[in-house]
Structure 1
Amino acid sequence: MTKDVLISISGLQMDVLEEEKEYEPIEVVAPANYFLKNGKHYILFDEVTEGIPGITKNRIKITGEDTLEVMKSGVSNVHMVFEKNKKNLTYYQTPYGQLLIGIHTKEMEVEVSEDNINVKVGYILDVNHEPLADCQIRINVKSKDAGDFQITKNMDF
């Protein structure tokens, strides 16, 4: 994998109280930098929040096949840890205030090849110890030098 990559993150949240609703995923695509250090994959990129001045710096760390960390600093601040079959608590600082969030990771798949990384995560999100949503995240990291330059491999939910 080269240092210059393109990251695509697609997320889907399904309200735990509404079963029959149609949900649309939210997707972010950004240029990023990739590093491999001590067997851990790091992806760094900046994010702009619509309607709010400033940027949020993002760092994603993938450790093996069962741990994903997402760290944000700037407009929003959080350190989210997704560990398969575990629940982690963290504070999420937003421009509108701070939230205590719980992340109970139910499933995680990590596929790494020479020019591509795919991560799929399924988790339950709670806010202030109240169940909020069943969530899914799909992350695709693709080397800019890869011959087949598609944004996603398969981001279907």
Structure 2
Amino acid sequence: MTNIDRIDRNRAGLPVLLTIRSEQHFEDMEPDSIELVTEGSLTPTGEGGLILSYQESELTGLEGTTTSFEVRGPQVILSRTGSVNSQMVFEEGKQHTSLYETPFGELAIDIQTSRLRHSLTERGGLLDLRYSISVDHSATGRNAFKIRVRRKHEARQNGQS
């Protein structure tokens, strides 16, 4: 059970504005990238970690899903709940096997993290994550997330909504 499951649901996270850039690279294909600006929340876990959460949209193809990144020491745990359910563990230089639930069934996937950097605090920051995914020990592609987090009131003060 992760801190996402344990966190006090009555305690609201800090409202944040997220700029999320996601890239997927598949062999012999042009990279597929999405950039999304959305609202979310940033919640301290009480153990020095943070949980960054937001609602997926139609643009990402995951409408009806909540995505959370739990930053905990050298690991980041991505959890999705709703129309898609999954949990992926990222730890630079290490491989973790995760279960990915789709409407068509479950897949066991291997996540090999090549880069995990973050400067996240309760004031915001940046999360940079690069990894490759293998299904049945066959590489399916390389992926990257770059998430910029700003406190909502600071974004408004800078003339942004």
- Tell me the TM-score range normalised by the shorter chain: 0.7 to 0.9
Q: Looking at both structures, which has the greater relative contact order when contacts are Cα pairs under 8 Å and sequence separation is at least 6? A: 1
Q: Percent identity?
A: 24
Q: In the alignment, does 2:102 pair up with 1:94?
A: yes
User: Is 1:78 matched up with 2:86?
Assistant: yes
Tell me whether 1:148 sits opposite 2:152 in the alignment: no
Tell me, yes or no, if structure 1 residue 116 matches structure 2 residue 124.
yes
For 1:42, the equivalent position in structure 2 comes to: 51
In structure 2, what is the Cα distance between the partners aligned to 1:25 and 1:71? Answer: 21
Aligned-residue offset at 1:49: 4.1
Q: Secondary structure at the match of 1:39?
A: coil
TM-score by length of 2: 0.78
Query: By how many angstroms is 1:150 displaced?
Result: 5.8
Instruction: State the Cα distance separating 1:114 from its structure 2 match.
Output: 5.9
Instruction: Note if contact 2:133-2:141 (Cα within 8 Å) is conserved in structure 1.
Output: yes
Greater strand fraction, Structure 1 or Structure 2: 1
Q: Mark the runs of 5 or more structure 2 residues left unpaired by the alignment.
A: 1-12
Deviates more, 1:72-81 or 1:54-63: 54-63
Q: Which of 2, 20, 24 pairs up with 1:9?
A: 20
How many pairs were matched up? 146
* SS of residue paired to 1:7: strand
| Letter aligned with residue 50 of structure 2 | H
Residue number in structure 2 paired with 1:154: none
Contact 2:50–2:121 (8 Å) recurs in 1: no
Amino acid at match of 1:148: N
Q: Deviations over 1:7-62 (max 9, x none)?
A: 222111111x32xx432411233211111121111112222346x89611222111
